Amino acid sequence: MTTSHYIAGRWVEGQGSDCISVNDPALGQPFAELMAASVAQVDQAVAAARGALPTWKATNASERAAYLRGFAEQLGQRREALITLQMRNNGKPRHEAEIDLDDAIATFSYYAELAEQLPSKNRDVALAAPGFSARTRLEPVGVVGLIVPWNFPLVTSAWKLAPALAAGCSVVLKPSEVTPLIEQAYGQIADSLGLPAGVLNIVNGKAETGAALSNHSGLDKLSFTGSNSVGSQVMRSASAQCRPVTLELGGKSAIVVFDDCDVDQAVEWIVAGITWNAGQMCSATSRLLVQDGIATALLPRLQAALEKLRVGNPLAEEVDMGPLTSQAQWLKVASYFATAREEGLQCLAGGKVLDREGWFVSPTLYADVPKDSRLWTEEIFGPVLCARRFATEEQAIAEANDSRFGLVATVCSADLERAERVADALEVGHVWINSVQAVFVETSWGGTKGSGIGRELGPWGLSAFQSVKHVTRCLG
C-alpha cells in the first residue's frame, strides 16, 4: 500500500523515512506495509485543514448532520470488510469486532442528531446591569489534531471525528502505526460523500509523525487517546502552544464484589472486565476487590472460568479471546509474568505466554496480591487480574481509590442502595453497577487523576470541540 495518506481530498504516497509493517497478531506475521508520512506532509495536511475551515464552519448544521449520517450508512455498507480487518489486524474475536463497528455507526448517527439540534441563532443573556445587551454563540474550536490508539481503532476515531465534524471543525487524524489500515475507511467515505477537500485529512506514521502533528503551530486543539507516557509528551506540546487538549489516558481500575452477589453472575462480570480485547483496554478492571464472605466460593469458580476460555485465531476458529495486538505488548505482558514470579505471587490461572505461533498469552489470575506489587499498581494492558480481599465497605472504597488512575470502576452487589452509595464514593469517571462494561454514546467517557483531561461522548464530546463567545453591546 503506497497511497495511504489522505490530504486535501487526495490519496498520496508516504514520503517519510519509516516503513510501517502491519501485522496479523494471530500469526505474528506482516500482511501489509506502507510508508509513513513525512513532516512536510503533516504540514500539508494541517494547511489543508486550515484552508477548509472557513467554509466548513460556515456550513449549516443540518448539512453537516447529513454528512455524518452518510458516514454511519457507509460504515454499515462496509460491514464485513471492516469486521474482518479488526479481526485480522487487532486479533479481536468476531463478536467484539461487530460491537466495535456498531459503536462507530452509533457515534456518527448520534452526533448527526446533536448537530441538527445546534442553535441556529445566538442565545440572549439576561444582564443585571441596565444599558447593555449580551448574546452567546457557540463556534468550532478550529483545526484539531486527533491522535488515536491501536486497541480500539475505528471506534476511538469515531468518538473524536464525529463530534469534531458536527461542531464545524476541520481535522487531521493520525492513526496508530500498529493499526493504520482501518481508518482508511473514513477517507474513502469522505471521497464517496463529497466531503469538502481538507475537512478530513489522514496521515499515518510512527513517533516522528505524531510529534510533527502534536507540535504543529497550525492546530487549535489536540485530542489524544493512548498511554500516559505519550500523553505527557502531547500535553507538553500543547502547553508550549498554550492551546486546549483532551487526553484519555490509562487506568488501573477496580471491580468491587460484595458477599451478597450471585457468584456465577459476579464471575461473568469479572471475566468480561479483564478479558475483553485481551485486556488491552484502559478501562480493564484489573484489580479485583472481593469481600471475605464470598472469596472462598468465588476465586475457584473464577479460576475455572478463565481456564475454560477459548484462546485462538479469530479468523480460524470461534474464540473467546484473541492474541495481543502487537509483539511489543506481548513482550510487555510476558515481563509482568516474570515480575510476578520474582515477587512470589500466588498464580491461580495462567501466568504464561502460550507456546504457539502468534502473540498469545493465557488469561491470568493472581490471588492475595500485596498493595505494593507492581502488578497491583501498574497498568499492564493484558488479561492479567490481581485479587485482594476486603472486610468492610469503607475498606473497599479506600482500596479502590488508592490509585494514581481514576478512569472507571464496577460495583457488584445485590444491595442496590449500597451499590449506588459506593459508586458515588469512587474517584473515577464512569461506574458500572452489576453489569459488563456497556458503553453508550449518550454517556460521557473520561477519567480523573492520571486518567486524563476532559470528556468524550455525549454532549460533552461535542462541547469539547466548541468555543464559547459572548458579545456585549452598549445600548446607549
Catalytic positions, written as ranges? 248, 282
Instruction: Name residues whose C-beta falls within 8 Å of residue 171's C-beta, 6 or more positions apart in sequence.
Output: 49, 143, 144, 145, 146, 160, 161, 164, 165, 199, 200, 201
CA–chain centroid gap for 157, Å, is: 8
CA 306/CA 310 separation, integer angstroms: 9
Collect contacts of 297-305 with beta carbons under 8 A, ≥24 apart: 297/263, 298/257, 298/263, 298/266, 298/267, 299/348, 299/365, 299/367, 299/387, 301/263, 301/264, 301/267, 302/267, 302/270, 302/271, 302/348, 302/349, 302/365, 303/348, 303/349, 303/365, 305/267, 305/268, 305/271
Would you say 146 and 174 are in contact if contact means Cβ atoms under 8 Å apart? Answer: yes
Grid coordinates 468524550 are at which residue?
Answer: 456
